Structure 1
């Protein structure tokens, strides 16, 4: 199986390259020290392979790295060693969607603006089933629902993603799957926002026009200056990535403005509870 570069391995590799260059050494010098090929050093530094800690320790000594540098390298090494759950996708999944699943699991923060449905990372199985049932998907619906639920594991554990959602209040009134399915979905949403890493802001009708009024977006950040923030725009054929720095900044500014115009988390939770009560009558 081919090695898969990840952002965490790339952070470690980038730091090792910085230390090597600061020491005035070439990749071939590092390779000789480890009695390996120069291409192996390249794979380490490009995040394709994660070296053994023994090799990292030898390189740190060779580069003359101090205690602070060794501590940082150790932190990056531990992060690169974390194995995130891998999601098996249907063979006919669009390329952009595959990239979304691989990218979101490495994100530190995800910001979602959603105008029409509860975001997939927060959906119940029945709600997701109802969404897929109207989408005319060619893949097995049960498989797609299971994949959506598996992705929700990214919100759990010590390395959980921080998720912030701005959600149009109309979503609380659109009875996807019927009133019971929606009620159960909103109950689940109330449970999820009790987690410290999940925040929901409801956009009230009184806000009027917001954003670009042309649909939602996902903004993903990675907590490292070497990893650029990205935006994902979903559409029925799969989705489009926005990576240009100025365009990403535009979406980030738009999201911040929408969040400011939305209800705070406490008021948002009360609106959701009120809707649950009305659906329970």
Structure 2
């Protein structure tokens, strides 16, 4: 029984939770009824682990599910059991970031807000390398500086793949375009890359100009992920110097989604944003 949360495991736990509540049983009651550890039930409910099929069937019988509910739970178990998402350098990634990477791999749309740097999915190799060199004191272990660039490229494949690429809509503060990461040459190449990426049908970029007083966080990164299932709510990942965290609270996610929408509505259009990128690129070239 592998332990480690994934979105598919959490979907199963989330589905069973109201049925368990309806039954009048507590997780401890269920554990005694089916003769398993309390941890097994709690991990099922939290999505931290996937129980073996025979244990799930015993739990479903104990909480008196309907035939339709049993069929739905088994389908969700099958999906979770078949989830073989591979993330490069998974053993070296912080747990919270690893959870985000697995969620991102399931997503069909990603909306982001970056005030400080160019978002990871749109970074060039040189920009990412310089960024990692400048933050080496935060790296987890020796040698990760070099592997971090490969991890970033692995992540970017979701946007570049030909079949069902991830759709991204990035809001980038103009200060991120002006901030020198590495050298002006690195920045010129990075801005050229952004201009090239705007030509892709699955990529939308809006720049938040310096004179735009928009709501939302003024540090770190905020990423909203949307999933293919119509009944699956969005999730939000926020990142700061202290690390990242996935927010699953529906009310908080709705609020942050509204904030993102308001900023996007106030920002220049993608076409005007491309002109801003070209103008900043020209200023870098003139220096």
Normalised to the residue count of structure 2, the TM-score between the two structures is 0.71
- How many residues align? The count is 228
Structure 1 unaligned runs (5+)? 15-35, 51-79
The structure-2 alpha-carbon separation of the partners of 1:133 and 1:196, relative to structure 1 and needing over 3 Å to count, comes to: same
Aligned partner (choices 225, 228, 246) of residue 230 of structure 2: 225
Alignment of 1:82-97 (within 5 A): 86-89=86-89, 91-97=91-97
Q: Deviations over 1:182-232 (max 9, x none)?
A: 110111111111111110000011212432434431111113233221110
The structure-2 alpha-carbon separation of the partners of 1:279 and 1:237, relative to structure 1 and needing over 3 Å to count, comes to: same
Aligned partner (choices 143, 149, 165) of residue 147 of structure 2: 143
Alignment of 1:211-250 (within 5 A): 211-250=216-255
Contact 1:112 1:218 in 2 (8 A): yes
The CA distance in 2 between the partners of 1:138 and 1:45, in whole Å, is 35
State the 1:44 CA deviation: 3.9
Q: Deviations over 1:119-175 (max 9, x none)?
A: 011111110111111212133211011100110000122211110011101111101
Q: Equivalent residue of 1:105, what SS?
A: helix
Aligned twin of 2:40 = none
Contact 2:219 2:240 in 1 (8 A): no
Aligned partner (choices 154, 157, 161) of residue 162 of structure 2: 157
Contact 2:166 2:202 in 1 (8 A): yes
Q: Equivalent residue of 2:112, what SS?
A: strand
Aligned twin of 1:105 = 105
Tell which deviates more after alignment, 264-273 or 215-224: 215-224
Contact 1:169 1:203 in 2 (8 A): yes
State the 1:4 CA deviation: 9.1
Tell which deviates more after alignment, 251-260 or 237-246: 237-246
State the 1:261 CA deviation: 1.3
The structure-2 alpha-carbon separation of the partners of 1:10 and 1:217, relative to structure 1 and needing over 3 Å to count, comes to: closer
Aligned partner (choices 182, 193, 211) of residue 177 of structure 1: 182
Contact 1:3 1:48 in 2 (8 A): no
State the 1:251 CA deviation: 0.4
The structure-2 alpha-carbon separation of the partners of 1:255 and 1:209, relative to structure 1 and needing over 3 Å to count, comes to: closer
Structure 2 unaligned runs (5+)? 15-52, 58-70
Q: Deviations over 1:10-59 (max 9, x none)?
A: 99xx9xxxxxxxxxxxxxxxxxxxxx979587654422335xxxxxxxxx
Tell which deviates more after alignment, 222-231 or 170-179: 222-231
Q: Equivalent residue of 2:162, what SS?
A: coil
Contact 1:232 1:239 in 2 (8 A): yes
Q: Equivalent residue of 1:239, what SS?
A: strand
Aligned twin of 2:39 = none
Q: Deviations over 1:47-91 (max 9, x none)?
A: 2335xxxxxxxxxxxxxxxxxxxxxxxxxxxxx8xx76x222253
